[in-house]
């Protein structure tokens, strides 16, 4: 459904290099990205600010012309066939609006029906379904400029789906939303993804979006793909481990070793211990622990994706620092 081969985009910026002198500098926003996304996939596309996420999305939607490389979406070349592609994709830019600011939401939807040339019955059916899932009925007749961010975003999602797109590009759709609105957007997208009809590419800074929605995760940094795989593969690659936290009546005997695990923390004079599980299951670790001490409470903590991704970003920055120094 989406193919990118060695896709690059460079921008030329002028920077001050003296009192009057300005120097041209070329910045690679996207640097040789190759990806293949199949029909019905839900892909999370993440990276730190300025990593090249939005630039990639803009090249995929035909808004920006790639500097080099090849790209095809729904079998079409996005820039030369932008109008044809627009009929087959839906786009939500979290920080932009595709709705008509001065008109009620309902009028924006009606206009989009005319713009995308959707038959009335299909439009009505899709709108009804979106109203049901996103709870739009209460604000359909309010001008877009008077909607809250959460309401507007639900309107934006509906607007992107009314023409039945094959691919949905979402650029930070939950940015700035409160917990309830985020939840509504996520469950809606989850529902959409379950049908397998729509291919979904989602960029976000909120990793909870990815964890709940996307099986596949692509991490981009400095314009390059640094990870492409499942969240589990990311954990495995960066050595993320589950942790066992135990509250004890008395500290563990001196020299206690839990085979296949490493003690990574002790608190409260040894009354709380944390083990990172490496080659031992949680069950076996618990069994070994209760034979060594009186256990009051136990919890198994899943690896945190935010920590892994933060490490990934930090590694990228240190690598960049090293290469700049070298």
Q: Compute CA 278 distance to the chain's CA centroid, rounded to the nearest angstrom.
A: 28
Residue 295 CA to residue 283 CA, distance in Å, equals: 14
Q: Which of 28, 133, 286, 298 binds other proteins (CB under 8 A)?
A: 133
Cβ closer to other proteins: 24 or 96?
96
Q: Is 279 in the site for other proteins (CB under 8 A)?
A: no
Cβ closer to other proteins: 159 or 258?
159
What is the SS3 assignment for 104? strand
CA distances from 98 to 95, 123, 207, 231, 306 (A): 10, 17, 25, 32, 31
Give, in degrees to the nearest 5, the angle at Cα 120 between 119 and 122.
Answer: 70
Least distance CB 153 / other proteins (angstroms): 14
Site stretch for other proteins (CB under 8 A), options 122-130, 225-233, 266-274, 302-310: 122-130
- Strands of the 199-203 sheet, one edge to the other: 89-93, 167-171, 199-203, 42-46, 216-221, 224-230
Q: Is 24 in the site for other proteins (CB under 8 A)?
A: no
Q: Is 197 in the site for other proteins (CB under 8 A)?
A: yes
Q: Is 245 in the site for other proteins (CB under 8 A)?
A: no
Cβ closer to other proteins: 4 or 285?
4
Site stretch for other proteins (CB under 8 A), options 20-28, 115-123, 293-301, 308-316: 115-123
x-marked contacts with other proteins along 35-54 as a string, rule CB under 8 A: --------------xx---x
Q: Is 11 in the site for other proteins (CB under 8 A)?
A: yes
Beta strands in the chain (DSSP E): 2-16, 22-37, 42-46, 68-73, 89-93, 167-171, 199-203, 216-221, 224-230, 243-248, 261-267, 272-277, 295-301
Cβ closer to other proteins: 169 or 275?
169
Q: Is 58 in the site for other proteins (CB under 8 A)?
A: yes
DSSP state of 269: G
Q: Which of 33, 48, 71, 93 binds other proteins (CB under 8 A)?
A: 93
Residue 242 CA to residue 303 CA, distance in Å, equals: 5
Q: Are 170 and 203 in contact (CB under 8 A)?
A: yes
Rule CB under 8 A: which residues touch other proteins?
Answer: 11, 49-50, 54, 58, 61-65, 82-84, 86-89, 91, 93, 95-98, 100, 102-103, 107, 110-111, 113-119, 122, 125-126, 128-130, 133, 143, 161, 163-166, 191-192, 194-195, 197-198
């Amino acid at each position: 459904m989406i193919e990118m081969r060695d896709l690059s985009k460079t921008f030329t910026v002028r920077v001050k290099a003296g009192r009057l002198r300005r120097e041209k500098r070329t910045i690679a926003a996207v640097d040789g990205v190759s990806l293949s996304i199949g029909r019905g996939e839900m892909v999370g596309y993440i990276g730190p600010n300025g990593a090249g996420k939005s630039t990639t999305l803009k090249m995929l939607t035909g808004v920006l012309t790639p500097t080099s490389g090849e790209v095809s979406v729904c079998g079409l070349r996005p820039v030369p066939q932008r109008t044809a592609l627009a009929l087959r994709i839906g786009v939500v830019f979290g920080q932009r609006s595709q709705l008509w600011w001065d008109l009620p939401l309902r009028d924006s939807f009606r206009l989009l029906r005319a713009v995308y040339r959707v038959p009335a019955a299909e439009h009505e059916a899709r709108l009804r379904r979106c109203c049901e899932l996103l709870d739009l009925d209460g604000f359909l007749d309010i001008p877009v400029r008077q909607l809250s961010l959460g309401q507007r975003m639900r309107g934006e999602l509906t607007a992107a789906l009314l023409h039945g797109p094959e691919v949905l590009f979402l650029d930070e759709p939950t940015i700035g939303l409160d917990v309830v609105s985020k939840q509504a957007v996520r469950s809606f997208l989850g529902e959409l993804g379950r049908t397998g009809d729509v291919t979904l590419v989602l960029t976000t800074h909120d990793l909870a979006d990815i964890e709940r929605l996307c099986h596949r995760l692509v991490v981009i940094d400095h314009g390059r793909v640094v990870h492409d795989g499942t969240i589990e593969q990311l954990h495995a690659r960066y050595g993320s481990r589950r942790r066992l936290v135990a509250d004890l009546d008395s500290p563990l005997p001196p020299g206690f070793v839990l085979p296949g695990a490493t003690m990574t923390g002790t608190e409260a004079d040894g009354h709380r211990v944390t083990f990172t599980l490496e080659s031992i299951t949680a069950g076996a670790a618990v069994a070994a622990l209760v034979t060594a001490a009186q256990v009051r409470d136990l919890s198994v903590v899943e690896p945190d994706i935010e920590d892994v991704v933060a490490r990934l970003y930090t590694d990228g920055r240190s690598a960049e620092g090293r290469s700049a120094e070298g």
